[in-house]
Amino acid sequence: MFLLVCVASLALSASGAAAVAKTVTVSITKNGYVPKTLAIAPEDTVTFTNGDTVAHQVSFKSTAGFTCTPSPLVLQPAASGSCAFHTAGSYSYSDPNTKGNTFRGSITVTAPPDSLTLTAKPLLLIFGGKVTGTGTVSTAKAGENVDVMAQQCGATTAQKLTTVQTTTAGAYSVSVQPLMNTVYTTQLRKAVSLSTTVRVRPLLKLTRVAAHKYALRVSGGASFAGKYASFQRYNGTTKRWVAVKVIPLKASKTGVAPAIATVASFRSTLKTGLRIRATMSQAQVGTCYAAGLSNTIRS
């Protein structure tokens, strides 16, 4: 079965939690920088503290991707200065006022791996209903291509449904219409979100067609021919639903793809005015659906 997909171009203001920037200290000693090499993340800050008895300058080979205070970074004894790094890359630095390799160091700024979130609502719906999935990507950028994947009940692998683009703050949204229980994930490059399972009830429509005569129509992404529904009445005294009879279902030719219809026509001698409904138990709908419940009408 194929899943129907309708992409909703919604601009959401929600965004993922921002990573907390760190501050790392590099000491300037008479023997050089301690440590000489660092690995940090974008937006982290490196503070240089001059512990030597003479002034030192920290001069970067590159001039882009970071900002330093003061600038130029000339530090008197016991003074400190900081550089905030914004872009992934390798940054080498030295003291241009000293000879040799003693006062040389490097900073590697590594971007964190991609990640993304996914939330779907509702997680339980009646066949024919739609689910809205929303999430954010860790890059917090607009224009990122997010693949929407779905593994329908009974399938061995997930299928790509569509690709949506992120909007403000890396937010994205998609609307899907599952035919049966389905597991959804989203993917950005090599990153995959946690899975979200959406459960689907078959659509049960109970109709009174004449005195003591009723029709039941069950719609789903699979046939329920040969299965059974329970016809029930409500007992106002005990405030419970009571089973009246078991209704066998048979195939119908009136379904419109991808919906498959199963029907039943039956009679009941219940007195008029009672609240009645039909249900399908988990055993009858199988593992690919949630238990079904019809509308309530009067006998």
Query: Does the structural domain 23-109 have CATH classification 2.60.40.420?
Result: yes
Q: Which residues of 147-180 are buried (b: 16+ CB within 10 A; e: fewer)?
A: bbbbbbbeeeebeebbebebbebbbbbbbbbbbb
Bridge partners of residue 114, in order along the sequence: none
Could you tell me the residue ranges of all domains in the chain?
A: 23-109, 114-200, 202-298
Q: The domain 202-298 is classified under which CATH number: 2.60.40.10, 1.20.140.10, 1.10.540.10, 3.90.79.10?
A: 2.60.40.10
* 0.85 exceeded by pTM: no
Q: What is the pLDDT of residues 236-290, one digit of tens each?
A: 999 999 999 999 999 998 878 789 999 999 999 999 999 999 999 999 999 999 9
Is 114-200's fold the same as 202-298's?
yes
Closest CA to 134 of 14, 298, 255: 14
Q: Which amino acid is at 31?
A: N
* Rounded Cα gap, residues 199 and 224, in angstroms: 17
CATH class of 114-200: mainly beta
Q: Are 178 and 203 in contact (CB under 8 A)?
A: no
Q: What is the pLDDT of residues 213-243, one digit of tens each?
A: 999 999 999 999 999 999 999 999 999 999 9
Least confident segment among 64-73, 135-144, 250-259, 267-276: 250-259
Parallel, antiparallel, or unpaired for β 104-109 and 37-40? parallel
